[in-house]
Amino acid sequence: MPNESDHLQREGDKELKDVSEETAGQQVRPSTPSPHRQNTLQASPPRLVSVEELMETAKGVTNMALAHEIMVNKDFQVKPTELPEGSLEHRVKEIMRKVFWDRLEAQLNEDPPSYEHAIKLLGEIKETLLSFLLPGHGRLCSRIEEVLDLPLIQQQAENGALNIGQLSQFVVEMMGSLCAPCRDEDVKKLRQITEIVPLLKAIFSVLDLMKVDMANFALKSIKPHLMQLSVEYERNKFQEFLEKQPNALDYTKKWLEETVKSLRETESCASASSDPPLHPLNVHNHAYIRLLRWDHASDPFPETVLMDQVRFLEMQQEAKWLVLLSSVLLIVYTTTGEAISGLPGLMETLKNTVSAMLTEMHMPSFSMQEALATIGEKLCVELSHCLSQHGFSSFSAESKSALKGQISAIIQPDNTVRKLMDSRIQSYLMAALESSQHKTPPPLPGGLAPVSRELKELSIRFSRLVNYNKLVFSPFYQKILQNILTPGESSGTET
């Protein structure tokens, strides 16, 4: 049975690996073949692959997903491994821990005490403390080497002069000097433990947390310098994957082909010429906008954006929420007219009321019809109160009925107001993509002032995600577009 010191040493090394597997599992899972993917004609005939090739490919995708997550997730953090309570692995781990610490306590209670395992633990603690040091920590390094001198400690143990308690207190003081502020309370609790074995046990627990803190600090420090390396790494890993799976761009090709087809149909209706030229960059930006209207239940997501499918889905839901919110507010202000246009704070009050009612609009149990009816009732009450409070004529029954009817009508996909707000929001996001390289925000379309903050935040997240995707996969996109567009069109440079 492996002893606890070996186990504790391996735990810190496993943390980054565990996070890699967990993150990749979340991101790669959508790529699992589904029935509608199996029914699609493949661009290349299938070929047999060995188990070794399959494992190597899976490892490459896992590493690519982790690198991608680190770059696009600003809140990415390494987290301690937590086994499910009651699981077999958790129970085995707890049993091994108990056996190890019970054995250590028995050795220390012998007469004379046996310090074999205690000294090994001190050696691991010393290595961990030294790993926390930065280049400017020369004095701390010398101090740790001096106090935790293992040959000297071994001699003291053989001569019966070793004071484990004193060394443990030194370790706690060093931890207090090196830990992040969020660990101050944990270190303070260590100082209150007087028994040796519980203290050593608690020291290792806090050291594990400090390892995680150090990993996150390192990630945060080097992240600004990782952009170009990460772009090249992801691109190379995807190229390796493409060489082993030649049909790995089938749905990306279909995505871009359908975008070109849609643009040609739109341009043909607006132009006298039968086949107006298309610019690759314009095609590409429109393709990204289409991801905000994607039918995730029935259409396979393009391979090059698959790792961000969850993010695009969240932004799609947020865009739909903004369409409904802005539509309701536009109806309110066009219905009531000048009476409420200049009242301070009213817009924010109405906005908060509508937002609260639409918070769960993407839940399966949510009833849009009931929510819009309730919104109409609530807004009529608030508008009546506000008008009477500021000396305006009361909100008539006819006006209330008209307002509630127009709000309830928003549920229809072809509703005029809803289509107008949807078109303006999509246009704003498209303009944000086109202007992102110039770092100048596009002008806000009319009727969207009440949701300007939320819309700008969405456009920033959307543009950043799209621009990073372009950096990674631009060579693949260019090759596909060269085959789709006419020679004159594909000669345009996409940046």
Write down the pLDDT at residue 437: 63
Angle at 58 between CA 57 and CA 59, to 5 degrees: 90
Position 47 pLDDT exceeds 50:
no
How confident is the model over 310-316, as a mean pLDDT?
95
> Can you tell me the mean pLDDT for 224-244?
84
Residue 9 pLDDT more than 50? no
Instruction: Give the C-alpha separation, 326 to 422, whole Å.
Output: 9
| Residue 196 burial by Cβ neighbours in a 10 Å radius (0-12, 13-18, 19+) | middle
pLDDT at 58: 55
Lowest-confidence pick of 35-44, 160-169, 286-295, 363-372: 35-44
With pLDDT > 90 as the criterion, what percentage of the chain qualifies? Answer: 42
Whole-angstrom distance, CA of residue 53 vs CA of residue 56: 5
Query: Which pLDDT score, from 0 to 100, does residue 34 have?
Result: 38
pLDDT at 272 exceeding the cut of 80 = no
Chain segment 362-386, per-residue pLDDT in tens: 898 999 999 999 999 999 888 888 8
pLDDT of residue 55: 53
Q: Retrieve residue 93's tokens.
A: 């781990």
Yes or no: say if 330 and 363 are a contact pair by the CB < 8 Å rule. no
Is 60 exceeded by the pLDDT of residue 335? yes
- Of the ranges 54-58, 164-168, 315-319, which one carries the lowest mean pLDDT score? 54-58
> Rounded mean pLDDT of the chain?
81
- Among 104-108, 343-347, 367-371, name the most confident range: 367-371
Query: Residue 448 pLDDT > 70, yes or no?
Result: yes
- Report d(CA 425, CA 208) in Å as an integer: 47
**Least confident range of 5-19, 190-204, 308-322:** 5-19
Mean pLDDT of 86-111: 87
DSSP state of 45: -
Residue 63: per-residue pLDDT: 63
pLDDT number for residue 347: 83
- pLDDT tier, 152 (very low <50, low <70, confident <90, very high otherwise): very high
389-399 as b/e: b if 16+ CB within 10 A: eeebeebeeeb
Res 466 pLDDT > 50: yes
By CB neighbour count within 10 A (0-12 exposed, 13-18 middle, 19+ buried), where does 466 fall?
buried
Q: What is the dihedral of CA 30, 31, 37, 38, to 10 degrees?
A: -120
Do 399 and 336 contact (CB within 8 A), yes or no? yes
* Confidence label for 274 from pLDDT (cuts 50, 70 and 90): low
Q: How do residues 63-85 score in pLDDT, each as one tens digit?
A: 667 667 777 777 777 777 777 88
pLDDT digit string, tens, across residues 389-446: 777 777 788 888 999 999 999 999 899 999 999 999 999 999 999 886 656 778 899 8
What is the band of 488 on the pLDDT scale with cuts at 50, 70, 90?
low
DSSP for 228-285?
HHHHHHHHHHHHHHHHH-TTTTHHHHHHHHHHHHHHHHHHHHH-SSSS----HHHHHH
Residue range 331-356: average pLDDT? 81
Contact 93, 83 (CB under 8 A): yes
Per-residue pLDDT, 383: 84
The mean pLDDT of 247-254, rounded to a whole number, is 93
- The pLDDT score that the predictor gives to residue 4 is 43
Instruction: State the Cα angle at 395 between 390 and 401, rounded to 5°.
Output: 155
Rounded to 10°, the helix 4-28/51-72 angle is 80
More confident residue, 342 or 467: 467
Q: What is the pLDDT of residue 438?
A: 59
| Alpha carbons 57 and 285: distance in angstroms, whole number | 30
pLDDT exceeds 70 at position 31: no
